[in-house]
């Protein structure tokens, strides 16, 4: 499992870097050229049908309640994609 967590960290870093690169390309030839993208990770929270409560996710691969291990696909938080702030100087 340790190797899996290392691999997941590498994938996460690669995805974030790919997003930064895509953002830079999308901003090219626009007034946002040279702007900086800051990504804030939001932890995934699911609704557990067994606990009947919102719970953190045990693992992104298993998608189970961290408290009781019940599988669920009902995501409460963690799918958000929103612009929180835009600073202009
Ligand atoms: Zn649960």
pLDDT at 89 exceeding the cut of 80:
no
Q: How far is the CA of 70 from the centre of ligand 1 (A)?
A: 6
Read off the tokens for 46.
């699911």
CB atoms < 10 A from the CB of 46, how many? 25
pTM of structure: 0.60
Q: How far is the CA of 81 from the centre of ligand 1 (A)?
A: 26
pLDDT in tens, 31-84: 999 998 988 888 899 999 999 999 998 887 788 999 999 999 899 988 888 888
Q: How far is the CA of 4 from the centre of ligand 1 (A)?
A: 24
What local confidence, expressed as pLDDT, does residue 1 receive? 61
Span between the terminal Cα atoms of the chain, in Å: 46
Measured in degrees and rounded to the nearest 5, phi and psi for residue 65 equal -60, 135
pLDDT in tens, 32-43: 999 989 888 888
């Amino acid at each position: 499992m340790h190797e899996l967590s290392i691999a997941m960290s590498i994938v996460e870093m690669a995805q974030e870097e790919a997003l930064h690169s895509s953002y830079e390309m999308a901003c090219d030839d626009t007034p946002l050229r040279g702007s900086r993208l800051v990504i804030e990770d939001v932890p995934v929270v699911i609704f557990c049908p067994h606990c009947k409560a919102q719970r953190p996710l045990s693992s992104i691969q298993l998608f189970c309640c961290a408290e009781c291990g019940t599988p669920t696909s009902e995501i409460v938080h963690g799918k958000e994609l929103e612009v929180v702030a835009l600073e202009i100087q």
